[in-house]
Amino acid sequence: MASKPLRSEPLLAWLPQQRWFGAKSRRIQGVQFDDSLPVAHAALHILRVTLDDGDVQRYAVPLSAGDEPADALDDPAVTRALVALARDGGRVDGRHAALAGYRTRAFPAALDPAAPVRKVGGEQSNTSLVIGETLIVKCFRRLSAGVNPDLEITRYLTDEAAFPHTPALAGWLTYGEGEATATLAVIQHLVRGAGDGWQWMLGALREDARRARTLPALARLGEATAALHVALAGAPASAPDLAPEPIGEADVARWTQDVAAQLATARASAPRAADVPAIAPEQVSRALSALRGRVKCRHHGDFHFGQTLYAEDTGAWTLIDFEGEPLRPLAERRRKHSPLRDVAGMLRSIAYAAETVRAGGAAGWIDGWERDARRAFVDGYLATAGRAPFLPEDAARTAAVIAAFELEKAAYEVVYEANNRPDWVKIPLAGLLRASSAVAA
């Protein structure tokens, strides 16, 4: 039986306490129940949250029965019911729209209905749950009308590209009708024997006996990243939302403007004493002009070690979480771009790994490691990418393009660190200086 409708007042205090709530720094003006759908003995509520600046956000919130809010995803029966809905291609009608389930050919032929369910800790904007040792269910909490790129890209990689470095998509759930339909959850195969790539990298760097393994591992990560981009750039014309397109003057102009705007925001956000390099838009444009006539395509969009899994026993990398930066609009996250933005993102993650280990007391070797790590990743990437249609014509121009996108990423990090971790702002500032020198060269 579904839970009885909750009053909105208790949610005003409960919502900001949830890790996935995306407006913790703003005050909630009101909560409206757009819809409620029964799931096992709980209810999936679609909430419309109005904030103090007038912004309105929609959230999918499964709640258990009771007078006070309680996350129903803590109840294994609710997760099992959601997976069963996908397995059976089922549908649950609400007052205004429906919850619908879908499966792919990769859905397990047999799934233990009593398999244990556990919640994955540490996530921010989503909630993931593991069923037995078979599936992982990622529930998107904030809803946006349209296809989530995590579904769109993993479905293509599973069904069409047979890409080996990402978990196979087994199914998904949606809520809504027509163009207003939003992706509610994706269900993928669980990758056994692999752990968080960020944690593995930090652990290996902190142990003398394992440190040497990081460079060949980074070369393999570069190879897997290039293989991903080659697969995405090979999407057929019959899939227009995924198919690559030529890069024109307007693209170069827009991307140059994006970098300049991010730099301006970083300059305004950085501490007064910070040295934020001044680089002319013409220099950025000159670097990015090497992309003219190449192709833009879909890419990861938020690529760093935390979006990878690594199995040390086999040396295999798995690339995960293709939704892009969750705070950006869905249309922007689905936009085609140069996949070299992902390369820049991982180079910034290498820098953060180096600085995190340095803060823990690493000796002078860390500078040399970061230099070698960057080279290992990029060399592995370029060796696998070969003469891919998204790469500039030579290595020097490719390096300049990567530096321009690293400049944009480091500027974004300056803003984030200035607002959240001021003591860390020196990390992206150092990245800005390095990238600006490479762009201006």
**Model confidence over 388-435: pLDDT tens digits?**
999 999 999 999 999 999 999 999 999 999 988 999 999 999 999 999
Long-range contacts: 85-88, Cβ < 8 Å, 24+? 85/173, 86/170, 86/171, 86/172, 86/173, 86/187, 87/111, 87/171
Which one-letter DSSP state was computed for residue 145?
B
Residue with tokens 């939302």: 241
Task: Write phi, then psi, for 400 (nearest 5 degrees).
Answer: -65, -40
Q: Please state, in angstroms and rounded to a whole number, the distance separating the CA atoms of residues 137 and 128.
A: 5
| CB-side neighbour CA atoms (13 Å) of 429 | 16
Q: Which sequence spans correspond to the domains of the chain?
A: 9-189, 195-440
Lowest-confidence region among 197-211, 213-227, 330-344, 357-371: 357-371
From 360, 278, 293, 330, select the one nearest 143 (Cα to Cα).
330
Which one-letter DSSP state was computed for residue 356?
H
With 0.75 as the threshold, say if the pTM is over it: yes
**Model confidence over 173-227: pLDDT tens digits?**
999 999 999 999 999 999 999 999 999 999 999 999 999 999 999 999 999 999 9
The third-level CATH classification (topology) of the domain covering 195-440 is Aminoglycoside 3'-phosphotransferase; Chain: A, domain 2 (3.90.1200)
Query: If DSSP states are collapsed to H, E and C, what string results for 18-74?
Result: CCCCCCCCCCEEEEEEEEEEEECCEEEEEEEEEECCCCEEEEEEEECCCCCCCEHHH
Q: Where are the alpha helices (DSSP H) in 190-338?
A: 197-205, 208-211, 214-233, 249-269, 281-288, 330-333
